[in-house]
Amino acid sequence: MSSSAPRHTSRRPLSASLISQLWLGICLLLWHVSAKTASDYYVQSLPGQPAGPLLNMHAGHIEVNEQHNGNLFFWHFANRHIANRQRTVLWLNGGPGCSSMDGAMMEIGPYRVTKDGVLTYNDGSWDEFANVLFVDNPVGTGFSYVDTDSYDHELKEMADHMVTFLKKFFALFPEYEENDLYIAGESYAGQHIPYIAQAILANNDSPAQSRIWNLKGLLIGNGWISPVEQYDSYLPMAYGSGVIQGGSEQATALEEQHKTCVNHLNQPGGMDRVELPACENILQEILRLSQKDGQCYNMYDLRLRDSYPSCGMNWPPDLTQVTPYLRRQDVKDALHINKDKKSGWTECSGAVSSNFNTKNSKPSIQILPAIVEKVPIILFSGDQDLICNHIGTEELIHNMEWNGGKGFELSPGTWAPRRDWTFEGEPAGIYQEARNLTYIRFYNSSHMVPFDYPRRSRDMLDRFLGVDIASIGGKPADSRLDGEKGVETSVGGHPNSTTAEQVEAEKLEQAKWAAYYKSGEVALIVVIILASAWGFYVWRDRRRRAGYEGLWGGSNGHLLRKRQGRDVEAADFDESELDDLHVVSPNPQEDGIEERYSLSGYSDEEDIGKANEKANGTVDGKGKERSYKDESSG
């Protein structure tokens, strides 16, 4: 008797340990089986899609910050035709905090939304010969989300998240990892893109990186890159366009504000800031002093007017169709929007912008010369934009030193020629290039060049990518530099293809079988594990004739630890906790919902706790900012 008792008590912990291990094995296997695959992101249909086969696309969320529930949303369109090699273009809009669905639905994507909520093809979309990947960046932008106390604050933080995103994206879609990679965007993406490029180049040099990403080029349109030259460009742009008359009282007031800006720039560290409130006020004053009868200039397109103080925030007009379309439940279901994303889609997020203060980030002009040594870059500008105007871009190029020279000077006193560009018989702009950098000015175009001229912007892309349709067939576009045709490009005319039909059918079939296999795997694994565990338990019980705790008797509380710092946006709460959740209806006047957020963050003198406060209704920043009164709806 004395010898059996110790054996009995010593085996009880062994049984509990065995049961815990079995449960852990079940959890790990279920997690492995339930992990998302490419088929989970496949878009099988799209509400309002045009007649014919659906384009090959994938969409959904990829986690980039597990601790704070940070997820980036992407929408990927496969190329409709393959040219001489495979290419992928990553597109980012600005803000910071403005959704890349602007680019997808109003600029370079394959679809446009009509007033009836129906999709039509965009003649000039960039997915003709390149895969196009739109990402709502940084976390919290558009369909992306994150715990509300964990927005990005710095450019390096944003870039690191994008590298994490790309690693996981290529793990899901390894067929794209060896593509030539291009990064394109506009506005505040003039800060994002160089920092992401720098992070990718550093990642390529890392011993832990098993495969090199073929970063082949950057395209930045009306980008916010160099504050010194771009703040200095506001007055000459305002004078030259006739917005302000030189020598007037308004001009005198503006020149005083400009002096204040210069004083701040000349302070220690002033030229190392991405944005300075004192300099942002120059733009505010231009819009205020030039307004008349409640109407002001559209800061994104000086050919247009808007109600004061919006001054461009009600533009572009397509936004009135795009916003309700992206808030439709059937559209969100088609794009696999996670249930954790509680708020409806908004073009620009004031919360993202006000938190993205870049207090420890240097402007991207300081890293651009090192990048252009390795990667070709296009800077392009619509000449009717005020906020990130072409004068500022031309001046920053003129003052920048790269690849053994300064500006577009080829040798002392000799400058790279400005070549006249015509497209389909009309003057389209100018090209100028030297030492791996190309500058293109688009005539009669706004802050969003592809919105105005999708076909011309696609021609620019194809030239940069080196797409030559002579090898694949197609009708070339009549695009000339100084009257001479270069590589033949083809813009539009390919609404779909037989390849798209085949791919669509194959993807649909694969998605169906993947779903069947996954559900079968889950059931089979659970049955096998439970049967094995039960059989093992019975065998040991009979052999030792000893009483053990039942299979379900052990506590598994240690496997169910809750993450601290929970967030309603991330749906990180139990249903039982809803009883203790007190919701206060917002008061638009008290909360300032009708006001716009300042996109310049806050100054050094302000307390960091004010990051989420709204500004005083001024128009600010380098993106498509507007009223956020609908941000919580949808």
> Which residues are part of the catalytic machinery?
187, 385, 447
Kindly state the tokens that stand for 278. Answer: 């004192």
Name the one residue in this structure whose structure tokens are 């409640």. Answer: 294
Burial code (b: 16+ CB inside 10 Å, e: under 16) for 326-365 equals: bbbeebbebbbbbeebebbbbbbbbbbbbbbbbeebbbbb
User: At a CB cut-off of 8 Å and minimum separation 6, what does 464 contact?
Assistant: 182, 217, 219, 376, 378, 438
Kindly state the tokens that stand for 4. Answer: 């059996």
Q: Bridge-partner residues for 61, per DSSP?
A: 73
Name the one residue in this structure whose structure tokens are 């959890």. Answer: 27
Burial label, 167 (beta-carbon count in 10 A; 0-12, 13-18, 19+): middle
Q: What's the longest Cα–Cα distance across the chain?
A: 110
- Angle, nearest 10°, between helix axes 155-172 and 189-205? 60
The phi and psi torsions of 203 (rounded to 5 degrees) equal -65, -40
Burial label, 613 (beta-carbon count in 10 A; 0-12, 13-18, 19+): middle
DSSP string, 577-623: GGGG-------HHHHTTTSPPPTT---TTS-GGGGGS--SS---SSS
Which helix (H) or strand (E) segment holds residue 18: the answer is: helix 4-34
Coil/strand/helix, residue 259:
helix
CA–CA separation, 69 and 147 (whole Å)? 6
* Ramachandran area for residue 578 (φ above 0: left; ψ -120 to 50: alpha; else beta): alpha
Contact present, 455 and 413 (Cβ < 8 Å): no
Which helix (H) or strand (E) segment holds residue 540: the answer is: helix 498-544
Kindly state the tokens that stand for 115. Answer: 């007033």
What separation in angstroms does the CA of 204 have from each of 187, 201, 534? 27, 5, 50
Contact present, 399 and 368 (Cβ < 8 Å): no
What separation in angstroms does the CA of 166 have from each of 130, 159, 350? 17, 11, 26
Kindly state the tokens that stand for 499. Answer: 């390849």
Coil/strand/helix, residue 415:
strand
Coil/strand/helix, residue 364:
helix
Contact present, 156 and 361 (Cβ < 8 Å): yes
Helices marked H in 443-495: 449-452, 454-465
Kindly state the tokens that stand for 319. Answer: 């936004």
Q: How many CB atoms lie within 10 A of CB 230?
A: 25
Kindly state the tokens that stand for 595. Answer: 């006001």
Based on its alpha-carbon atoms, the radius of gyration of the chain, rounded to whole angstroms, reads 28
